[in-house]
């Protein structure tokens, strides 16, 4: 009976109206009392509950789903199948993953007693044997090098009450250098971690943004493909700059969403709580855009990660790299929510990116399309973007596209081969809101190369960078960096070679050069979107660096 009820609920979950709410409610109540026989069935029930929390029919369904998810860890069938459900992100189950350094540091700081190292990976153990003495105190390092104990049992002797993961991460965090050098060292070890379940450890079961907009699903899901230009013309309902406190809560939810799906995203790892916007798109759909801390920003484009939420439930994620009218965009829907409203959500993401950041030309990189990404090939990602209006510019991709579309016109059932999809995925695809001004990728490499040439002509070392900083002060009319914060000074150091290598900079007006100084300073400011606003307003700089 329970298995039959579960199958019926899975079939009914995307149906709305005409008594659907009552039918779902009855099935939910029965399944709340039922005991499922297999781990697979427990996982299926969990996924239906997460879906219905994101797309609830009404208050009754939402309340029932909420109660079941809050008590999910108490289900006897979950307890019985806990080991088989590891790595699912369900509350009460363990998560195993080779977390990147910043995520490992965050987990070891937040849940030091629950994070440990996986012991059965021989390759990682060998890397740890070589790396460990480099982070230990000298006496301990000499003892380790002279002894016969491998790294893991050696740490067991040294770590006291700490877990081996907390011991290792603590020593890595205390290494000389900066965050970049520590990250490089830790990622070279590539240690596998195990996060044991705890009262408040990350889980998909309880993932919820409490201040997100809410709505009930009264009618059918929107499965049709949108016209992206029409979608972009429709503004989001509201854009709210979050307080640092709420920004931190959104970033933590995003990081938990990654951890519970064995993923990492740099924009979330180094998210800036002071630079977070919640875009309310209506009907319970919202995008939480977060900038990154100054030390992790790119020199030219601004990087923003985003978490897609529906009724507060994380349903997807991605990031945008924006400068001027250009936006390189990635788009991911979590597996639980695939097949629902992916095309509609992407259209609203384009609108949000256009209205928040001013982007009008969008690109999708090869990885998103399936290059060295089998998930992208299996899902037919290239054709998803093609049907929304994206097109390649590369000759080889255009030739394959025309051949495949010709075959589809002859035979509607034609499907591109894996070989064809891989060839298509080797090249970017593009979409422009303004048909009259088609653009490719932002030509950032040229600006960077001019800066590199300027430095190389002067030896390419620290003296050359210092000379660029002094010359940039002269060019922009600044007497000093007095009043600049540490991050603003670091941004100035990165931007100085770009400033001094701008062709014809001496012919710019004093006002234009002063604005250039403001742009460089804004790159290290509290919110990177301030840099984007200043950059877009400087038409002469955008003309030189971007050709717009």
- Are the C-beta atoms of residues 502 and 463 closer than 8 Å to each other? no
**pLDDT exceeds cutoff 80 at 148:** no
Let me know the angle formed at the C-alpha of 281 by 280 and 282, rounded to the nearest 5 degrees.
Answer: 95
Sheet containing strand 95-97, edge to edge, reads: 95-97, 193-195, 115-117
To the nearest 10°, report the CA torsion of 441, 443, 448, 451.
-170
Helix orientation angle between 20-33 and 2-12, rounded to the nearest 10 degrees = 150
Give the Å distances, CA to CA, from 76 to 25, 33, 40, 49.
21, 10, 14, 17
For 514, the token pair is 């002063």
- Are the C-beta atoms of residues 86 and 94 closer than 8 Å to each other? yes
What is the Cα–Cα distance from 451 to 493, expressed in whole angstroms? 12
- pLDDT tens profile 450-490: 999 999 999 999 999 999 999 999 999 999 999 999 999 99
Q: Tell me the pLDDT band of 208, cut-offs 50, 70 and 90.
A: very high
> Which has the closest alpha carbon to 209: 304, 285, 266?
285
**pLDDT exceeds cutoff 90 at 408:** yes
For 204, the token pair is 């998909």
- pLDDT tens profile 369-392: 999 999 999 999 999 999 999 999
- pLDDT tens profile 322-346: 999 999 999 999 999 998 999 999 9
**pLDDT exceeds cutoff 80 at 544:** yes
> Which has the closest alpha carbon to 301: 447, 450, 475, 428?
447
What is the Cα–Cα distance from 310 to 215, expressed in whole angstroms? 9
Which H/E stretch holds residue 99?
none
Q: What is the pLDDT of residue 18?
A: 86
Q: What is the pLDDT of residue 269?
A: 96
To the nearest 10°, report the CA torsion of 470, 476, 480, 486.
-90
- Are the C-beta atoms of residues 317 and 304 closer than 8 Å to each other? no
Q: What is the pLDDT of residue 339?
A: 85
- What percentage of the chain exceeds 70 in pLDDT? 100
Q: What is the pLDDT of residue 149?
A: 87
Give the Å distances, CA to CA, from 350 to 228, 231, 333, 358.
7, 8, 15, 11
State the average pLDDT over residues 519-548. Answer: 96
Q: Buried b vs exposed e over 235-255: b needs ≥16 C-beta within 10 Å?
A: ebeebeebeeebbbbbbbbbb
To the nearest 10°, report the CA torsion of 372, 378, 380, 385.
-50
**pLDDT exceeds cutoff 80 at 200:** yes
- Are the C-beta atoms of residues 34 and 236 closer than 8 Å to each other? no
Mean of per-residue pLDDT scores for the chain = 96
**Contacts (Cβ under 8 Å, ≥6 apart) of 159:** 166, 167
Q: Tell me the pLDDT band of 147, cut-offs 50, 70 and 90.
A: confident
- Are the C-beta atoms of residues 276 and 246 closer than 8 Å to each other? yes
State the average pLDDT over residues 166-187. Answer: 92
- pLDDT tens profile 255-271: 999 999 999 999 999 99
Q: Please list the residues that pair with 543 across neighbouring strands.
A: none
- What percentage of the chain exceeds 90 in pLDDT? 94
- pLDDT tens profile 415-430: 999 999 999 999 999 9
For 544, the token pair is 């030189």
Torsions phi, psi for 275 (to 5 deg)? -135, 60
**Contacts (Cβ under 8 Å, ≥6 apart) of 416:** 380, 382, 383, 404, 424
- pLDDT tens profile 278-326: 999 999 999 999 999 999 999 999 999 999 999 999 999 999 999 999 9
């Amino acid at each position: 009976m329970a298995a039959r009820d579960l199958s019926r609920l899975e079939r009914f979950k995307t149906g709305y109206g005409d008594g659907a709410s009552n039918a779902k409610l009855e099935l939910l109540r029965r399944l709340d009392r039922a005991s499922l026989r297999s781990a697979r069935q427990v996982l299926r029930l969990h996924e239906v509950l997460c879906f219905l929390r994101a797309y609830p029919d009404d208050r009754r369904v939402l309340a029932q789903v909420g109660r079941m998810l809050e008590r999910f860890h108490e289900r006897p069938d979950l307890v019985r199948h806990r080991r088989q459900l590891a790595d699912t992100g369900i509350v009460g189950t363990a998560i195993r993953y080779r977390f990147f350094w910043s995520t490992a540091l965050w987990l070891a700081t937040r849940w030091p007693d629950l994070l440990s190292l996986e012991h059965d990976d021989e390759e990682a153990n060998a890397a740890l044997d070589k790396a460990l003495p480099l982070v230990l105190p000298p006496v301990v390092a000499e003892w380790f090098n002279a002894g016969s104990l491998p790294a893991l049992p050696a740490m067991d002797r040294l770590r006291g009450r700490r877990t081996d993961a907390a011991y290792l991460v603590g020593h890595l965090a205390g290494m000389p250098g900066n965050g970049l050098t520590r990250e490089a060292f830790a990622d070279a070890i590539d240690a596998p971690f195990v996060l044991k379940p705890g009262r408040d450890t990350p889980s998909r079961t309880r993932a919820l943004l409490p201040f997100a907009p809410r709505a009930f699903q009264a009618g059918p899901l929107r499965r049709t493909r949108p016209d992206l230009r029409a979608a972009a013309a429709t503004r989001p309902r509201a854009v709210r700059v979050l307080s640092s406190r709420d920004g931190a809560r959104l970033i933590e939810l995003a990081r938990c969403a990654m951890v519970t799906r064995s993923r990492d995203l740099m924009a979330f790892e180094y998210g800036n709580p002071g630079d977070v916007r919640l875009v309310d798109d209506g009907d319970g759909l919202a995008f939480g855009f977060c900038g990154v801390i100054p030390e992790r920003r790119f020199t030219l484009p601004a990087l923003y990660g985003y978490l897609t939420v529906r009724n507060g439930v994380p349903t997807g994620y991605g990031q945008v790299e924006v400068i001027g009218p250009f936006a390189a965009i990635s788009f991911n829907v979590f597996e639980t929510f695939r097949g629902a409203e992916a095309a509609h959500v992407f259209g609203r993401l384009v609108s949000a990116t256009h209205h928040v950041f001013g982007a009008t030309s969008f690109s999708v990189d090869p990885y998103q399309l399936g290059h060295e990404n089998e998930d992208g090939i299996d899902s037919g990602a290239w054709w998803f973007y093609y049907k929304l209006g994206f097109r390649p510019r590369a000759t080889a991709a255009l030739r394959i596209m025309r051949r495949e579309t010709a075959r589809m016109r002859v035979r509607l059932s034609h499907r591109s081969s894996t070989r064809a999809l891989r060839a298509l995925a080797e090249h970017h695809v593009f979409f422009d809101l303004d048909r009259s001004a088609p653009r490719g990728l932002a030509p950032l490499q040229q600006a960077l190369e001019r800066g590199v040439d300027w430095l190389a002509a002067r030896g390419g070392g620290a003296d050359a960078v210092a000379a660029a900083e002094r010359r940039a002060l002269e060019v922009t009319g600044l007497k000093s960096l007095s009043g600049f914060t540490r991050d603003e000074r670091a941004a100035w150091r990165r931007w100085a070679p770009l400033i001094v290598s701008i062709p014809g900079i001496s012919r710019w007006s004093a006002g234009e050069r002063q604005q250039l100084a403001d742009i460089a300073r804004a790159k290290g400011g509290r919110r990177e979107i301030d840099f984007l606003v200043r950059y877009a307003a400087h038409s002469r700089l955008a003309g030189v660096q971007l050709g717009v």
